[in-house]
Each structure stands twice: as C-alpha cells, then as structure tokens.
Amino acid sequence: MFEAVKDTTRRPGSNRYLRRLLVLCNRLLSERGEANSVSIARDLVAGFRALPDDARGAFFGHLASDFSPDPAALLASAQAYAQSPGAAQLQQVLRDAEPPRQELLRRINRLPGGTADIVAMRRALLGRLGAQPELAAVEADFLHLLGSWFNPGFLQLQRVDWRSPAHLLEQLIQHEAVHTIDGWDDLRRRLQPDRRCFAFFHPQLPDEPLIFVEVALLPDMPAAIAPLIDKTATQPPERSLRTATFYSISNCQPGLRGVSLGNFLIKRVADELKRELPQLRTFCTLSPLPGLARWLRAGAPCESLSRVRAQRLAEAQQTLLAACDGKLERLSDKASLQRLPADAAQALQRLAAIYLTQVSPTTLGDPVARFHLDNGARLERLNPLGDLSEKGLRQSFGLMVNYLYDLKKVELHHENFVLGEVAHSRQLASLL
Amino acid sequence: MFEAVKDTTRRPGSNRYLRRLLVLCNRLLSERGEANSVSIARDLVAGFRALPDDARGAFFGHLASDFSPDPAALLASAQAYAQSPGAAQLQQVLRDAEPPRQELLRRINRLPGGTADIVAMRRALLGRLGAQPELAAVEADFLHLLGSWFNPGFLQLQRVDWRSPAHLLEQLIQHEAVHTIDGWDDLRRRLQPDRRCFAFFHPQLPDEPLIFVEVALLPDMPAAIAPLIDKTATQPPERSLRTATFYSISNCQPGLRGVSLGNFLIKRVADELKRELPQLRTFCTLSPLPGLARWLRAGAPCESLSRVRAQRLAEAQQTLLAACDGKLERLSDKASLQRLPADAAQALQRLAAIYLTQVSPTTLGDPVARFHLDNGARLERLNPLGDLSEKGLRQSFGLMVNYLYDLKKVELHHENFVLGEVAHSRQLASLL
Amino acid sequence: MFEAVKDTTRRPGSNRYLRRLLVLCNRLLSERGEANSVSIARDLVAGFRALPDDARGAFFGHLASDFSPDPAALLASAQAYAQSPGAAQLQQVLRDAEPPRQELLRRINRLPGGTADIVAMRRALLGRLGAQPELAAVEADFLHLLGSWFNPGFLQLQRVDWRSPAHLLEQLIQHEAVHTIDGWDDLRRRLQPDRRCFAFFHPQLPDEPLIFVEVALLPDMPAAIAPLIDKTATQPPERSLRTATFYSISNCQPGLRGVSLGNFLIKRVADELKRELPQLRTFCTLSPLPGLARWLRAGAPCESLSRVRAQRLAEAQQTLLAACDGKLERLSDKASLQRLPADAAQALQRLAAIYLTQVSPTTLGDPVARFHLDNGARLERLNPLGDLSEKGLRQSFGLMVNYLYDLKKVELHHENFVLGEVAHSRQLASLL
Amino acid sequence: MFEAVKDTTRRPGSNRYLRRLLVLCNRLLSERGEANSVSIARDLVAGFRALPDDARGAFFGHLASDFSPDPAALLASAQAYAQSPGAAQLQQVLRDAEPPRQELLRRINRLPGGTADIVAMRRALLGRLGAQPELAAVEADFLHLLGSWFNPGFLQLQRVDWRSPAHLLEQLIQHEAVHTIDGWDDLRRRLQPDRRCFAFFHPQLPDEPLIFVEVALLPDMPAAIAPLIDKTATQPPERSLRTATFYSISNCQPGLRGVSLGNFLIKRVADELKRELPQLRTFCTLSPLPGLARWLRAGAPCESLSRVRAQRLAEAQQTLLAACDGKLERLSDKASLQRLPADAAQALQRLAAIYLTQVSPTTLGDPVARFHLDNGARLERLNPLGDLSEKGLRQSFGLMVNYLYDLKKVELHHENFVLGEVAHSRQLASLL
C-alpha cells in the first residue's frame, strides 16, 4: 500500500517519492492478469495528487522517456511486417508501437472515478506543455484515449433548468465563459421559459457537466447581445418564438481541451428543440469575433486573395485608419465607435467580411468562426454595435456575427469548408 | 444516403454493393472534420446489417487488407524514430502504425447505438475467424477498442430481482449458461430473499445485461448443486446466512468474448453484499470442472511434476481405470458412480486435485479453475457427487469444486498464480 | 405494547383478547393530542390481523354498537341547531353526528401502510355483511373515507408494459377478470406494441395496482374477442391503427368495491392515447353482456315500455323460444347457436337491444352496460357470435357489444342517462 | 363552459357573476353520477380565482348559508335515530348532518391540481374569518377534509440538500420563518455536510414543500443560535457529531394552518437521522420563547400555583423589575442585558422556568413550548443570552430553550403533558 511508501519517503516530490511512483507505474503494467489493478491504480493516483507542480513535470518527463515504445524493437517488427505483412506481424508491430503509458492510463481508468483522475492529470499536463515541449507525445496519448472515451455516443444530453440541482447550476455560474453570469438572479433569467440550457454529461462524471450551451428563443434572429442577457427583459408570447439562438457555449473541463464536444452538442440540441417546439424555423447563433481586432492590428494578413479583393481590403483598411487617426484602439471606445462615419463603419464590416470568409479556413482564422463553419454553419449576418461590453469593444469593435444552422445543409457546408470555401449569405456577399 | 446506393445495387452481397460499402468506409475516414460522421456511419451500419453471411466475410477481408497500416510508411517512420526517438517522430510512427479501421470503428461508435452495432459486428467476425484466420488482426482491433470502452470503470452494477423489468428477466432466462433456468417459476425461486442476482450494464447498452452472477445465501459452504436450484426449497432464517455462494456466472454478449468482465463483477458483488449483510463471513463458489473428464480421457497429461507426484498420479489413474474396467465413460453413469469403491472414489479426487493444482496454471487447465484462480480465489474443497445432472456426470463424473474468495488475500493469490502456484486448502493438500 | 397483551390472553379471538383490542380502540381515540397514535394504531392493526374470522365479526359488531354517535347527545345538538342554526351549533351537531369509528380509521390511516390495512379490514368487513346486516353503517363509514382518500385526484395513471417490474405483471395475470391471462406468454402478447395496458395506483399503495384496463389498437372497431386475445396474431402496421378498443377492465382490490375508479380511468387513458397517437379516431369497447341470459330466463321483465315495443318484445321472445324448443340453455351450445335460423338470430338481437336501451337505466340493467352508459358512452353495435367462449355462450349466447366513447359527448350522454335515456346508434334504433 | 358564463357577466364580482358561480356549485353537487364533475369543477375553480377579495367573502357567505345541513331534516332524522338507533337511521342522520359543501370540496379535489386549489381557497377563507366570524363552520369543513387528506400516512419525507432542485431551495429561502435565510450563500451553509434539512411533501403537491425542518449536527447541545447560523463557521469532524439539534421548523402553506404536520416530521426525521448516523446520542431543539416578554409585561399571570411558588414568582418579578427600573423594555437592549446583575439574571431564568413549566399546559402558554411539550419533548435547559438578535431580545430578553426528544419517552411525556404535567430536567427543577 502507498501508505507505507509515504512513511519512508517523507516528502512528496523528493526523488525517492518519485521513484516509488514510477515503481507503482511499472507494477500496474507488469501485472499479467488484471486482478489487482484497482488497488495499485488507487495508490498511484493518490501519489500523483500529492505531488507538487514541478515534481509533476518530472513525473510526466518519466512517462515520456520510460514509457515510450522501444525504438529498436519497433523497428525490428516494422521490418518484419514490411517483409511479410500478415496478421501476426501486424499484431506484433502494434504491440511494439503502442506506448506502454496508454495501457497505464487504461488501467487507471478502471478505478471508480478513474476517468476524472485522468482528466485532472491531463489538465496538469497541459499546464506543463509550454515549459516541457518534449511532453507532446505523452499529451497525444492522453488526448487519443480521452477522445475515444468521450466519444459522442457515450455522452448524455441533459436539459438544465430551474428544476436542476443547485450544485449543477452553481457550476454553470462558475464556468460560463462568454457572457458572465452575475449570480443566481441572473442565472434564473437565463432559465426562464423562453430560454433553454443544455449540457453534455459522461456516465463516469455524473455530476460534472462537460460543456453547456445557452439558447434564447426569439421571434427573430437577434442583432445585439444586451437584450438577451438583460435580467429584467419581458418574455415574448410563446407562439411568436420562431428562432432558436445559441448565444453561449462554454466548456467546463480544461482537462478535455481538444476533445470535440461542441459540434455534436449543437446538432443534438437543435434536434431536441425541434421536437419540443415544432414551430421553430431558424437555428442560429449570436457570436463574438474574438480575433478581429487582433487581426486588424496585425495588418489584416490574408494568404491568397484575388487582385480585386486585395485592393478592396487595402482601401477599407485605409478608410478605417483615416477615421481613427491611425489609432485602432480608439474604436474600442464606445462613444467614438458610435460616432464613426458611415464609410468607416462600412469599411469595418467589409474587413470583417473578408476576415471571416477568406481567413477562417486557415489557421489564422477566428476560432469561433472556425468552430461554427467547420461545424457546417453558414455565415449569415454581421451586426455592428452588437456587443458594447468592454470585452466586445476590445476584441471586435462591437461587431457580432450570426451563424445560421440550416440542418439540411450542414453536411454540405462542412465539406465545402474543409475544401476552403465559406458558405455565406447575400448580405455578406455584397460586402465582399 | 445509402438509400440511393441500394437502388443501384439490387442485391446486398453483390460485388457492387460491397464496393459501395467500402466507399462508405473510406468516406467515413477521409472526412477531415467530423461533422458528418454520424450520417455516413448510419448508412454503413445499415449496409453491413443487410449483408448475407459470406459477403460479411468478404467485407471483413477488405477491412484486413485495405485498412491495415501501410508497411512502407510504417517502416520509414520506425526508422526515423529509431534514429531520433523524439516526440514528433513518435507521434508520426503511431499515426502510421494504427490500422485505419480502428478510427473507422471509433467513428461508428459515435452513433447513438453505435456501440451495440460494433458488438454485433464483432459477433459476426468471431463466427468467421475459423474459416478466415487472416482476420485475426481485424479481430484484435475490435477487441482492443471494446476492451477500452467496456473497461470496468464504465460498467454499472445493478441488482436484479423480482421488481426488475420483465424484459430484463427474460434475458436472464435466455442467457443462463451454467444451470438452465426452466421458465418464470424457476426464475422466481432464484430471486427469493435468500438469493441475489447482479448484472453489469454499460451506459451505451442500457437494456442489455453484459454478464450476470447468481448468488445463494446459505448457512454453510454447499457441497452439491441440486438443493440450490430446487424450486421448492424452503428458505433458511436470515440471521443464519453466513455464506455467499456464487453458483452461476453467465455472459450475455457473445460479441464481447474475451473482454474481461467477470473478475470485476465478483469483487464488486462481494463488496455490495458485505455492505448489505455484514453478517456474511464466507464468499465462495460452487463450480463445475468442465475439463476434468476430457483431461482424464487424454491420459492426464501434466507438464512438470515431481517424481513422487507423478507416481501418485499414475497409481490413481490405474486404480480408477481398474474400477471401471478401463471404460471411463461408465463413470458418467449415475448408478455406477454411486457404487464406486472407496479407493477409486479417492483416486478420482486425487486426480482432480492434481488437475486443479498442477495443470490450472497452464493452458491445458480447466477454464473455470483458471478464471477463479487467476482472479485470486483459493481452491477450497472437492465435492464428489456434487452435480448428478447429465452434464455434470459427463464433464466431471459428478465432481464439483468450491473456490474461496478471501477478499484480503485475492491480490496475493493472484500474484502467486501468475507465477504458477495455486493457493489451496489443507483438504486439497492432503489429497496430493 | 400489544406484545404484553398477547401474553396475557393466550388466544386471539378469546373474549379477553377482543376486549383488549377494544381498549386499544378507545385509547387511540381518547388521546387528546396525537403524539402516540402511531404506536397504538400499529398494535391495533396487528391485533386485528391475528383475529380469526368469527372474532372479526364480533369486533366489527362492537365498532357498530360502541363507536356510533350517541343518539341523545345528537338529538340535543340537532334541536339546538334547529332552534338557532349558527356556526357554533352546526359544529357541535357535526361533532355529535360523526361516528367515532371514522376518527379511529383516520388515525389508523396515519400509519405507514395504514391505508392498505384499512382496505384489508374493509375486505373482511364486506365478507361479513351478508351474515351481519347490522354492520351496514360501519361499512358506510369505511366506504365514505376510502372514497375520499381514493379520489381520482390522488390516483396516478401508469402505463404497464414489458418493461414493467415482474411483480406488477404477475398481479395482472392474477387479477385479470374478463378474459383470463394464460401465463407469461399470453401476457406478453397483450403487451405487444399494438396493445396498451394502464393501471391506476395510489401513492400509499405503490406496489398494488387498483384497477387496470387493456386496450387493443386496431384498424377498425372489432366484432369478436377471439382475434384480440389470440397469442399468435400478427400485428397490423402502426399507421393503420385508428381505433382504440378497451377490451378488459379489472379491479384488483376487493377492499375498494364501490369506490368508483373505472370511469376516470377510461377517460384518462383515452386522453393519454390521443396524445401518444394522434391518428386515433375512435375510442370504443368490446364488452360482454353478463346479464342478458339471466334476464331472458327471468322472462325479460321491463318496467315501462310503449305498447308497440312491448309487443315487439313479446314477439321476439316467442320467436326465440320457438327456435330452441323453449329451452334457452340450448343457445349456450356453440353448435346450436351457429345453426340458429335468421329470424331467431334477429329476435335475439332485438331482445338484447331492448334489454340494453330500456332496462339499463334501471337497477335491473346489465352491470357492464350501466357502467359504460353512466360513464357517457353510446351503445354502438351488437356483435352476434362475438364471444364463443364457454362463459360468453352461457352469459349472453355469444353476443358482445361495442360502446363508443365520443369524448366530446360523454357529458351530454351521461346527463341523459341519468334522466333515463340511453344514447345509441342507428343500428340499435333499427332493432327497436 | 364557464367561458360562456364570463361573456354574459362582464365583471367578476358582480352579483350576476356570483350567482353563476353558485349555480356551478349546485350543478357540481346535483349530478347524480360523477362523470362530469371534472369539467364543472374546473370552471368553478377558475371562476373563484377571478373573484376580487370582497366578492370571495360573499361567496364564502353563501357556502355558509346555502350549503349547510337543513336543520329541520336533520332534527327529524336525529329523532328517528334516537327512537330506533339502527344502521339505516344512522346512515340517514349522517346524510342529513353532513354539510353539502363537504361533498362540493371532495368533487373539486378530483381535479388534477384540485388539492392545491382547495388549499388556496382555505387561505383566502382564513383571511376573511376575522371580518366574517359566521364563516367558522365553513372553515371547520375545510380543516376537517384537509386534515384527512394531509394525514401523515400520505406525506413523504424528503431530504433537501445542495443537490435538490433550485426551485425547491428557493422556497426554503422564502419560507424560513425562524432564522431568516439571507440568500443562496447562507442557504449553502445550512446545507453543508454537518447540517440536514428535511421537508414533507404531499403526492398531490409535488413541487410544494409543506413544512421543513433544519437540523444542526453538533458535538454537544448548543446554548446559542449565532454560531449555528454563522455562514463562515467551520465544520467539526464527523465522528464528533453526537447531537442532532432541530433549530428551525417552518410551515410553507398558510392554507394548511392547523393541520398538524410538525410533530410527525420531527419523529420521522429523528428516525431517519438515527439510521444514517448511528453515533447520534441526543435529539434536541434550540428554540425561542416567543411569548415570554409578552407574558412578563402582562404581569406574569399564572392560573394555579402553589403558595411557595407564587411567592417565588412575586420575588423574582420584583428583583427583575428593580434591576431595570421597572422598565422591562430595557432588557431588550443588548448592552443592558449583558450588564444585568447576577440576581436579576437568575430571577429572569426563574420566571422563564415558571412560565414554561406552569403556564405551558394552559392556553396562555408559549406556542413553541406547547408544540414541543405536547409532542413529547422534555424541557431541558435555559440558555441566557442565547439569541441576541433584535427579535430574540424583544421576544424573550435573549433567552433560548433546549427541548430534549428522548424517543423512548415521548409517549409518556405527551400523556403527562395532556394531564397538565411538564417533563423537565434537574436544572429546571432547581430554578423552581
């Protein structure tokens, strides 16, 4: 038992303590049968939890160096497989290629609560990645396994409302990333009958929402965020609700970064809403452009652009800079922004349109735009002065976007997006 | 949509139909993003279901030949990794080593109900393995992924009793493999207050038990099966119940063969029972020896035996054969067996003791013995005339075994068993 | 504690034992506060359960004689109320009028499980009523309170299907009163997707269905019962199901006789079905006429009949009797019935039509007809040879009836029925 | 339908409107069968809800005058019963004695949600009682029926914690009557692991708690309220928790005033806690004395007191008054109270002891004391300066009481209390 281990190695983080942890890793793996994995895994997890941050770095370093495949053995079996690519050779090469730490994680995952432990370990690992780039392969193994375990077929969609347990609602308040929830009264407004909130859960983390989405049911596609999160807003009559607007999507588990959850969530929520409210005609978002100002400040780089468009881009940049005396940060001032001349306001929209349609398919693109476009949405409308909060002014000079989810076309749009083409409305086309 | 496909390829099973299925496999994999995997996967699964048996063989054949790693690419990256074993090289070699069909299965698994589809596919695959040994690597991929998805941390233990849904109880009647359940009345007896039944479920297969175990609560360790499954037996008073006897473990999912479920089940059930009934002192089994007669007929082969024991084995064989005129099948006759002279009865027990203690650690061993011993149980008692059913007489000349689960020692016993040593009681020792 | 009581009065049923029980009754009532009612009530209920049958009669006799209102006190307060009918006088007269045994039952009802105890006591009481008519007032008090506690607002409708707990399904097999369920396989047929079964539950008796109704979903209104309960019948495609036919209603609690449950059940089930299957157009029954043969044997008495109808009745009787040589029992023979001449068959239908339309509103009427007609149903169709089971032949010479529930007209029909008028279809009118 | 009614009688509250409501009352009652009661009752309830307050008074007035028993008929049947007290006569007198409005309420109660409607009607009725004392008999009928429907056997105990639905927790914040809950953070403290909260529910009002009780688990019997409701208090280790202290009981349904719920709640909660935490030794309260100051200001009236005690009472009064210059209100000032000389402090305690032990059994007694003592609790300890909130200072000069629930003696104590005797500890005895 690890209790004993702890006695002899006074300090978690000492070399001796770390060595014991690695002994546990080896024991957990070396067991031929599987009968005792639970108790060893329990000690291992407890031991890891007690590690101070830098010792965790050392621990992960050992996972990278000591629990990787043996290059020589792998090479030998790859050669055998290349010579004679039969089933036996393939099974051997797979055995030799798989980093032993993958099996280590699988055995930890057998613990009651083991999945949560692994998510927590990965969170720590992600935090070390900047300082220790050599951990990339370890991190890849974590992501690989978590992606398999958190696959959408295993996730459960759950409606969240004022009848949900308080401890769950509390997590919503805490994790809302897009438009901060200001306490219980604010939350209550967001759970009124003209709002919906859904969360994804995994059976192994029954009390921990993975991701949640907030939806406003409205007569029309909204152009600004303020009325949607106004605590005192009155509710329109139910029969007038034709539009479901996804206005906030928040991840709750930093340890699951990179595991795609959101795209499935939106489609399942749309299906769910349609079943409940057949009168819904439109599914759209009201989304921020978190990267716009940054991109403009960087000089609006754009990889490949037709000559005509490149010229329009240059003109619009000029017009906008002229209107703010070359100081883009002025556009983050509400009053200045509201006084912006019409041509400059137009120029700003045109720049945003180019940014969204031309840059999104590249890695320079806006993360929110990439998320929805890759997900099969269509770029529908730009909304100037849509978000006058400090954050909205700073990130995108107040601009917001509606992405439209036409459920019959999401597959088509997605395939086109992968090929570099962004589906967009006539309004957007006219701006280009 | 596959609807269209079906129109043009009149016959499921035709070459054209099969080719379309493989196109779907490629489409499902080639999608860079993941947005459309669900609809493609749905068509693929529907298409597979419609395949006749021999066409399934062909389909799996293509999974083996077309969705294996590329030997040349793998060899190249293995060489790069051998030369410079960094994170980037490792990630590349892993990408090149993983058979693409693994990702194919992961994407099918995203479907609602996809896990059940994969279990059903594997069932079909296992049925083809005899005729097509080249499918071994495909089967290994199925087993690898199912082992990860059905890991014990994801499984839910559920008590089954007379309050359980009828559709679940019906499956128990159907799947009971050890001692047939003879209709609803018989089942009812097995769910009386002095009995327990538990099943493991997976969240993705909520209506399908994976495996279940039947337990009899008794004053003492039982020596025969008949009284345990007697429909009319009276129940002892609750306070006298000191022994929990596992008398039947049955798998319900042929498609999960080889995914270890039973060992975790026994320990979790024991924990559960202890919580409910703290007066329980003993956890044991009453188990068959399905391989004994077969082993004796094969001449009682035994890999390594001390000289003394080898001699005893030979003597016991002689005594037993003498008692049945060299015709072992006579011992499968109830009347003959009951008339067996004391020395021959003793010889039979000695042979069984050698079989269980010396042969179990090897692949020649009895499968039930291997299961419990590897699981950490101790060989406790031989019970002559313990199972006088036709099956019991045929398989083991009526002998039954009690394995004892001493929860404090299961880890130790398991580790010793892996080293080839079988934990056993004094009764067994005296027979050796 | 009653334990003590039992010690000193060896024999439950002895005078002494009975006297102790009555002491407990008085103690339960005399408590001014309510703090101890539970433990006293528990002893009282245990004491009652142990009573042999005849001693129960004596116990109920004491409830009648000793726990009735005091006539003198009641007369005095009734006089005071008559003189000056104020609130205070009224409250006094109510206190004096209420039989103390009502409060006794209310205090027993506080017990966990107390409601079930009272239902069981009433069952025993109903069994004594024939021999002890003086218990009528006691029985009225039981019925009064149970009617209040089992009021439809407190009842919960629950769908019963193959997913329901086995212990519940077992009760259905046991209690089905109209068309016997022949074991689990038969039950399974009745729970197929084209069948529905619903039960009412009371929160205090969570495991005991009060009443259940079986429904067949069919393309058309059925004319015979045999195809409906045929275990091997195939199921019509779901889209063709336009008619919901209630073909069996069974009470499960003899102790609730006279508490009306069935009428509410039918309407709530119809509402429930309409929600689930909007394509349903017709709600009807396929019902027996349990009283027809008896009525005919009694000479077809009918209180008030127009001259014309009385003559038709007489003629029809004559025709029918002629066809069976004056031996009505011959019509209970399947072969004879099937050979009946057309005029006699017509006469039988006419007699049934008169019986149902003219006699139903009176106490001579058929109980099933009274139930549905009072419930607002319309008499829709007679079905000769609809039930050729031994019971159907004996009770109604094979005739069955469809009652139609037109949900928009049930109130109107009910009100008319109370005034003596039976709603009926043209087919029925043509027979009159 | 009442819709039609509303059209013709423009104003709810007009005489015509009221007359229509009474017509509905009569229709609901006059229906011989019961088939239509639901739709009529629904109209009646909707009509009542629309009534302005004074018109409600008029409506209840009609319930009093028009739906009371007929004095003449009742007198006649009472005479018949007095002459010949048989079952038939008794049933007749019961029919004549029961106010028809009772059956009216029973039929309203058949509505889905009808029970909640009746509770709401009673709430309105209670509000009119002061102005219209003639409604006392109507109110008695409501109480009678609600007492029967909300009997403890029908109530469900439910634990309330941080996993409970937010809408339920919100009601706790709103209804807490003893020690106000100051928002969600405060509530959270009261639902920490060393606290318990339980509520009673009725199956017909599934979302509405009827009453709830808050419990602190502590090492010892507490002497002051402040540490118990301190949001920042640390939690003692679980194994040290030996005492369960009921520190707040709050009714949530004004319409159920007078229906006894609390006494059953305390005992069931105590049982529940004992099951969960067998180490609990003591069940007690920390309770206010809401009537003490009022009683002292009224001159400390006491119906019957031995000569010795009367003298002590007089002396204590004198001492106390002397200490505050005859101005009792000074004792409601925290600073003055904390400086009170020891003899005056002692006198205050003695007065409280006399108040609690001698006055409680009479109608002059403290309501909280009467509740717990009648419930079988023992008066255990007086706690000076136990509640220094503004309310505590004003009502009882800071004094608080512990009542002890010795579950083995509650019946005995209750019976003695009914006879006028208050169970108390030695500490209390020494003060007398």
**Model pLDDT for residues B65-85, shown as the tens digit of each residue:** 999 999 999 999 999 999 999
- Taking contacts as CB-CB distances below 8 angstroms, the residues of chain C near B183 are 184
- Beta carbons within 10 angstroms of residue B72's beta carbon: 12
Query: Would the pLDDT of C160 be above 70?
Result: yes
CB-nearest to B153 from A69, A94, A204 is: A204
Query: Would the pLDDT of C231 be above 80?
Result: no
Q: pLDDT for D314-348, tens place per residue?
A: 999 999 999 888 888 889 999 989 999 999 999 99
What is the C-alpha separation between A401 and D215, in angstroms, rounded? 52
Q: Give the pLDDT score at A347.
A: 93
- Taking contacts as CB-CB distances below 8 angstroms, the residues of chain B near A417 are 33
Give all strands (DSSP E) within B222-340, no chain letters: 243-251, 282-285, 287-288
B360 is catalytic: no
Query: Could you tell me the maximum CA-CA distance found in chain D, to the nearest angstrom?
Result: 75
Q: How far is D49 from chain A (nearest CA, A)?
A: 23
Give the pLDDT mean for B366-389.
Answer: 92
Query: Would the pLDDT of A33 be above 50?
Result: no
Q: Give the pLDDT score at C39.
A: 82
- Taking contacts as CB-CB distances below 8 angstroms, the residues of chain A near D188 are 166
Query: Would the pLDDT of D289 be above 80?
Result: yes
Interface test with D, best of A158, A160, A161, A167 (most D CBs within 10 A): A167
Tell me, yes or no, whether chains C and B touch by having 3 or more C-beta pairs under 8 A. yes
- Taking contacts as CB-CB distances below 8 angstroms, the residues of chain A near B260 are 34
The residue type at B41: A
Q: At a CB cut-off of 8 Å and minimum separation 6, what does B160 contact?
A: B168, B169, B172, B191, B197, B198, B199, B209, B212
Q: Give the pLDDT score at C365.
A: 86
CB-nearest to D167 from A163, A167, A170 is: A163
Give the pLDDT mean for D388-410.
Answer: 93
What is the C-alpha separation between A105 and A41, in angstroms, rounded? 9
| Percent over 90 (pLDDT), chain A | 57
Give the pLDDT mean for A84-98.
Answer: 93
What is the C-alpha separation between B318 and B315, in angstroms, rounded? 5
Q: Nearest to residue D283, comparing CAs of D152, D385, D402, D366?
A: D402
Q: Give the pLDDT score at D77.
A: 96
pTM of the predicted structure, to 2 decimals: 0.84
Of all helices (H) and strands (E), which one includes residue B102?
A: helix B100-108
What is the C-alpha separation between D353 and D305, in angstroms, rounded? 13
Task: Looking at mean pLDDT, say which of A54-68, A416-430, D184-198 comes out highest.
Answer: A54-68
CB-nearest to D136 from C87, C93, C112 is: C87
Q: pLDDT for B240-277, tens place per residue?
A: 899 999 998 888 898 998 887 877 788 889 999 999 99
Q: How far is C20 from chain D (nearest CA, A)?
A: 19
CB atoms C166 and B167 under 8 Å: no
Q: Which long-range contacts (CB under 8 A, 24 or more apart) does D304-311 make?
A: D304/D358, D305/D354, D305/D358, D309/D354, D309/D358, D309/D432
Task: Looking at mean pLDDT, say which of A4-8, B116-120, D333-337 comes out highest.
Answer: B116-120
Give the nearest chain A residue to B116 (CA atoms).
Answer: A153
Rounded to 10 degrees, the C-alpha dihedral D406/D408/D411/D415 comes to -70
Give the pLDDT mean for D245-265.
Answer: 86
CB-nearest to B165 from C165, C184, C188 is: C165
Mean pLDDT of chain B: 89
Residue of higher predicted confidence among A344 and B30: A344
- Taking contacts as CB-CB distances below 8 angstroms, the residues of chain C near D94 are 97-99, 140
Query: Would the pLDDT of C371 be above 90?
Result: no
- Taking contacts as CB-CB distances below 8 angstroms, the residues of chain D near A169 are 166
Give the nearest chain A residue to B265 (CA atoms).
Answer: A35
Tell me, yes or no, whether chains A and C touch by having 3 or more C-beta pairs under 8 A. no
**Given CA atoms C326, C328, C331, C332 in this order, what sign does their dihedral have?**
negative
Interface test with C, best of B158, B164, B189 (most C CBs within 10 A): B164
Give the pLDDT mean for D23-32.
Answer: 82
Alpha helices (H) along C290-361: 292-297, 307-323, 334-338, 342-354
Give the pLDDT mean for B370-378.
Answer: 89
Please state, in angstroms and as integers, the Cα–Cα distance from residue A430 to each residue in A287, A307, A346, A416, following that order. 21, 17, 11, 20
Chain D residues with CB-CB distance to A under 8 A? 162-167, 169-170, 183-184, 188
| CATH number among 3.40.630.180, 3.40.640.10, 3.30.930.10, 3.10.20.30, domain C153-285 | 3.40.630.180
Query: Would the pLDDT of B5 be above 70?
Result: no
Give the nearest chain B residue to A39 (CA atoms).
Answer: B411
Q: Would A3-149 and A292-429 be classified into the same CATH topology?
A: no
Interface test with D, best of A159, A161, A163 (most D CBs within 10 A): A163
Q: Give the pLDDT score at B307.
A: 86
CB-defined contacts A:B, below 8 A: 178
Q: pLDDT for D133-150, tens place per residue?
A: 999 999 999 999 999 999
Q: Give the pLDDT score at B88.
A: 92
Over the Cα atoms of chain A, what is R_g? Answer: 26
CB-defined contacts C:D, below 8 A: 177
What is the C-alpha separation between D61 and D58, in angstroms, rounded? 5
Give the nearest chain D residue to C68 (CA atoms).
Answer: D90
Q: Give the pLDDT score at B36.
A: 65
Query: Would the pLDDT of C275 be above 80?
Result: yes
What ipTM does this complex have?
A: 0.84
**Subunits with 3+ C-beta pairs closer than 8 A to D:** A, C
CB atoms C71 and D85 under 8 Å: yes
- Beta carbons within 10 angstroms of residue B212's beta carbon: 25
User: Which residue reads 């403890």 in tokens?
Assistant: D152
Q: Give the pLDDT score at D31.
A: 61
Q: How far is C214 from chain B (nearest CA, A)?
A: 18
Q: pLDDT for D162-211, tens place per residue?
A: 999 999 999 988 888 777 888 888 888 888 888 999 999 998 898 899 99
Q: Give the pLDDT score at D5.
A: 46
- Taking contacts as CB-CB distances below 8 angstroms, the residues of chain B near A264 are 110
**Subunits with 3+ C-beta pairs closer than 8 A to B:** A, C
CB atoms D165 and A165 under 8 Å: yes
Query: Would the pLDDT of A271 be above 80?
Result: yes
CB-nearest to D97 from C97, C153, C374 is: C97
**Subunits with 3+ C-beta pairs closer than 8 A to C:** B, D
What is the full DSSP assignment across C132-174? Answer: -GGGHHHHHHHHHHHHHHT-GGG-EEEE--TTSBHHHHHHHHH
By three-state DSSP, how is residue C424 classified? Answer: strand
Mean pLDDT of chain A: 89
CB-nearest to D151 from C81, C110, C140 is: C110
Domain-wise residue ranges, chain A: 3-149, 153-285, 292-429
CB atoms A163 and D163 under 8 Å: no
Is residue D33 very low, low, confident or very high in pLDDT (cuts 50, 70, 90)?
very low
Q: Give the pLDDT score at D193.
A: 85
Mean pLDDT of chain C: 89
The residue type at B429: A
Q: Give the pLDDT score at B354.
A: 92
| Percent over 90 (pLDDT), chain B | 56
| Percent over 70 (pLDDT), chain A | 96
Tell me, yes or no, whether chains A and B touch by having 3 or more C-beta pairs under 8 A. yes
CATH topology of domain C3-149: Butyryl-CoA Dehydrogenase, subunit A; domain 3 (1.20.140)
Tell me, yes or no, whether chains D and B touch by having 3 or more C-beta pairs under 8 A. no
CB atoms A153 and B109 under 8 Å: yes
Q: How far is D224 from chain A (nearest CA, A)?
A: 29
Query: Would the pLDDT of C326 be above 90?
Result: no
Give the pLDDT mean for D221-228.
Answer: 91
Q: Give the pLDDT score at C5.
A: 46
CB atoms B418 and A260 under 8 Å: no
Query: Would the pLDDT of C8 be above 70?
Result: no
| Percent over 90 (pLDDT), chain D | 57
Query: Would the pLDDT of D220 be above 60?
Result: yes
Q: How far is B33 from chain A (nearest CA, A)?
A: 7
Bridge partners of residue B199, in order along the sequence: B158, B212
Q: How far is D184 from chain A (nearest CA, A)?
A: 8
As a CATH number, domain B292-429 is: 3.40.630.150
Give the nearest chain A residue to B205 (CA atoms).
Answer: A154
Q: How far is B113 from chain C (nearest CA, A)?
A: 19
Which 3-state string (H, E, C) describes chain A?
A: CHHHHHHHCCCCCCHHHHHHHHHHHHHHHHCCCCCCHHHHHHHHHHHHHCCCHHHHHHHHHHHHHHCCCCHHHHHHHHHHHHHCCCHHHHHHHHHHHCCHHHHHHHHHCCCCCHHHHHHHHHHHHHHHCCCCHHHHHHHHHHHHHHHHHCCHHHCEEEECCCCCEHHHHHHHHHHCCCCCCCHHHHHHHHCCCCEEEEEEECCCCCCCCCEEEEEEEECCCCCCCHHHHCCCCCCCCHHHCCEEEEEEEEECCHHHCCCCCHHHHHHHHHHHHHHHCCCCCEEEECEECCCHHHHHHCCCCCCCCCHHHHHHHHHHHHHHHHHCCCCHHHHHCHHHHHCCCHHHHHHHHHHHHHHHHHHCCCCCCCHHHHHHHHCCCEEEEEECCCCCCHHHHHHHCCCEEEEECCCCCHHHHHHHHHCCCCCECHHHHHHC
CB atoms A167 and D169 under 8 Å: no
Q: Give the pLDDT score at D354.
A: 93
What is the full DSSP assignment across D13-61? Answer: TSHHHHHHHHHHHHHHHH-SS-TTHHHHHHHHHHHHHTS-HHHHHHHHH
Is residue A2 very low, low, confident or very high in pLDDT (cuts 50, 70, 90)?
very low
Interface test with D, best of C66, C74, C118 (most D CBs within 10 A): C74
What is the C-alpha separation between B313 and C253, in angstroms, rounded? 68
- Beta carbons within 10 angstroms of residue D412's beta carbon: 14
Give the pLDDT mean for B103-121.
Answer: 92
What is the C-alpha separation between B350 and B344, in angstroms, rounded? 10
Chain A residues with CB-CB distance to D under 8 A? 162-167, 169-170, 183-184, 188
Is residue B112 very low, low, confident or very high in pLDDT (cuts 50, 70, 90)?
confident
Residue of higher predicted confidence among B320 and D37: B320
What is the C-alpha separation between C154 and C146, in angstroms, rounded? 12
- Taking contacts as CB-CB distances below 8 angstroms, the residues of chain A near D165 are 162-166
Query: Would the pLDDT of B109 be above 50?
Result: yes
Q: Give the pLDDT score at D2.
A: 45
CB-nearest to D93 from C91, C97, C112 is: C97
